[in-house]
């Protein structure tokens, strides 16, 4: 099958080519982001492969339909950027990668938490300037502290294991508690109690209607003074403007984010010679206690391999009319709304 691969970076191309060695699909790699305008580049392809910041709203999907595209193969887990209802109406099947190395994202979340707690970025900057003083670098022992996990699916469960390994008390909230987490000694509590009681909180729930701005001004106000918050889930789970106010007041002690509400026009691009015209994002970057990575939680060899193999398998199954696991097909009701 011919597949137009949008938003391609070298690491995507390498992984997809390796995964496609046997299947032999015709992959047309494009660095353009998918949107209503670039959708027409897919003319002649039965399928497109898209990533987290490709636009899959009704207009883009309609343009894909005009280009005769029948399959959108997402090379990601999150499907919050897809208008699944529009895809269903247009007869376009949307598949995703329901799970891949959850360690990749959990370990990245832990890296953010550790780096913030021990002020590693500031410390490394000082040492590079030959300033070997320690003032302002005091952190806390994570051992014995309470850390809250919002969403204990695949990634949240991995995170629970990592935190238990550090000797933390782990509290969690999830409408569907995990038996594996309970077996590790994780205690499930309502979100408000988790926010009240934790020294650090890490977000691992999907972005759906109910979780948009789940962590808003009211939620932030419930947190202990100085709480460290980490978000590797989706940007809009956190109300960024409210987080900025909480950072200014000291309620948030530090913020680590791998995702940002308006990341689509910023992440995966090089602005080092230009201007980022997003004042909210610029304010975030100005805080010494904010650490931002540009949606790289998935970026390990293992995760890239898993994602590429699952994506190629999805295309092959679609082409052959074979069934795929239920969690792979994005259902019509999946739209964030
Ligand atoms: P999953 O589907 O295995 O787990 C999500 C969990 O969140 C489920 O247990 C679900 O019951 C829970 N949940 C749903 N609504 C909730 C709520 N209101 N409060 C608390 N929990 C709630 O998903 P997985 O694989 O663990 O991924 C989680 C999220 O991580 C994805 O949806 C995606 O947005 C994000 N992600 C980020 C990546 C990155 O590179 N930064 C890479 C992969 C995923």
Q: pLDDT tens across 261-310, in order? A: 999 999 999 999 999 999 999 999 999 999 999 999 999 999 999 999 99
Q: Do 185 and 239 reside in the same domain of the chain?
A: yes
Note the pLDDT of residue 325: 86
Nearest to 102 by CA among 151, 38, 164, 37: 151
pLDDT digits 0-9 by tens, 87-105: 999 999 999 999 888 999 9
Helix (H) or strand (E) holding 55: none
Task: Using the mean position of ligand 1's atoms as its centre, give its distance from the Cα of residue 33 in Å.
Answer: 24
* Helix, strand, coil % over all residues of the chain, rounded to 5: 40, 15, 45
Residue 214: in which H helix or E strand, if any?
none
pLDDT number for residue 336 = 52
The whole-angstrom separation of Cα 81 and Cα 191 is 25
- CA 41 – CA 265 distance, rounded (Å): 20
Residues of the chain with pLDDT under 50: 337
Q: Rounded CA gap, 202 and 230, in Å?
A: 5
The residue from 79, 103, 295, 313 that is catalytic is: 295
Q: Look at the pTM and tell me if it is higher than 0.85.
A: yes
Considering the domain architecture, whether residues 51 and 120 belong to the same structural domain is answered as no
Per the prediction, the chain carries an average pLDDT of: 96
Q: Are residues 217 and 76 in the same domain?
A: no
**Domain coverage including residue 206:** 102-292
Pocket test for ligand 1, best of 151, 202, 236, 330 (most atoms within 8 A of CB): 151
Query: Is the domain of 150 the same as that of 25?
Result: no
Torsion of CA 182, 186, 192, 193, to 10 degrees: 110
My answer on whether 111 and 91 are in the same domain is no
**Which CATH number do you get for residue 19?**
3.40.50.720
pLDDT at 310: 96
| Shared-domain flag, residues 198 and 314 | no
- Both 213 and 288 in one domain: the answer is yes
Kindly state whether residues 77 and 197 are assigned to the same domain. Answer: no
Residues 94 and 238 in one domain: no
* Residues framing ligand 1 (Cβ under 6 A): 77-78, 99, 102, 105, 150-156, 173-176, 204-207, 210-211, 214, 232-234, 258-259, 295, 297-298
| Size of the chain, expressed as the number of residues it contains | 337
pLDDT, position 333: 65
Looking at the chain, list the stretches that DSSP marks H as alpha helix, in order from N- to C-terminal side: 10-19, 58-66, 84-90, 102-117, 120-128, 154-165, 179-183, 191-197, 217-222, 240-249, 279-286, 301-320
Question: How many domains is the chain partitioned into structurally?
Answer: 2
Same domain membership, residue 73 and residue 201: no
User: Quick one: 224 exposed, middle or buried, by C-beta within 10 A (0-12, 13-18, 19+)?
Assistant: middle
Terminal CA-CA length for the chain = 32
pLDDT of 314 reads 97
| 74 φψ region: left (φ > 0), alpha (ψ -120 to 50), beta (else) | beta
Active site residue 234: yes
The Å distance, Cα 95 to ligand 1 centre, comes to: 17
Q: Which residue has the tokens 């699944």?
A: 84
Residue 245 annotated among the catalytic residues of the structure:
no
Quote the pLDDT of residue 337: 38
Q: 154 and 16 share a domain?
A: no
Name the residue of 75, 205, 303 whose CB sits within 8 Å of the most ligand 1 atoms, as the mutation to test its pocket.
205
Cβ-contact 315, 23 below 8 angstroms: yes
Determine which residue's CA is closest to atom 36 belonging to ligand 1: 233
Best residue for ligand 1 mutational test, from 7, 105, 106, 258 (most atoms within 8 Å of Cβ):
105
Sheet containing strand 93-95, strands side by side: 26-29, 2-5, 47-50, 71-74, 93-95
* 43 lies in the same domain as 92: yes
Task: Tell me the C-alpha distance between 282 and 148, whole Å.
Answer: 28
């Amino acid at each position: 099958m011919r597949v137009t691969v949008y938003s391609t970076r070298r690491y995507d191309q390498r992984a997809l080519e390796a995964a496609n060695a046997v299947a032999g699909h015709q992959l047309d790699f494009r660095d353009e982001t998918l949107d209503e305008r670039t959708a027409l580049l897919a003319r002649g392809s039965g399928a497109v492969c898209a990533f987290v910041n490709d636009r899959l709203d009704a207009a883009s999907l309609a343009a894909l339909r005009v280009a005769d595209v029948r399959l959108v193969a997402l090379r990601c887990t999150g499907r919050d950027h897809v208008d699944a209802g529009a895809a269903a109406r247009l007869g376009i099947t949307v598949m995703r990668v329901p799970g891949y190395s959850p360690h990749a994202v959990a370990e990245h979340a832990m890296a953010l938490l550790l780096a913030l707690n021990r002020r590693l970025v500031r410390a490394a900057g000082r040492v590079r300037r030959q300033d070997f003083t320690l003032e302002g670098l005091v952190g806390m022992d994570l051992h014995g502290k309470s850390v809250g996990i919002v969403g204990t699916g695949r990634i949240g469960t991995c995170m629970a294991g990592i935190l238990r390994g550090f000797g933390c008390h782990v509290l969690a909230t999830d409408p569907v508690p995990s038996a594996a987490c309970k077996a590790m000694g994780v205690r499930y509590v309502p979100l408000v109690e988790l926010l009240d009681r934790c020294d650090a909180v890490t977000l691992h729930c999907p972005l759906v209607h109910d979780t948009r701005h789940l962590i808003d001004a009211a939620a932030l106000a419930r947190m202990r003074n100085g709480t460290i918050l980490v978000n590797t889930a989706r940007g809009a789970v956190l109300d960024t403007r409210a987080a900025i106010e909480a950072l200014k007041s000291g309620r948030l002690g530090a913020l680590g984010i791998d995702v940002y509400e308006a990341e689509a026009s910023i992440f995966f691009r090089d602005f080092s010679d230009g201007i980022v015209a997003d004042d909210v994002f610029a304010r975030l970057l100005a805080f010494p206690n904010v650490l931002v990575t540009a949606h790289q939680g998935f970026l390990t060899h293992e995760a890239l391999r898993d994602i590429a193999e699952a994506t190629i398998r999805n295309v092959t199954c679609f082409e052959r009319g074979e069934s795929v696991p239920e969690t792979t097909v994005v259902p019509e009701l999946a739209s964030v709304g």
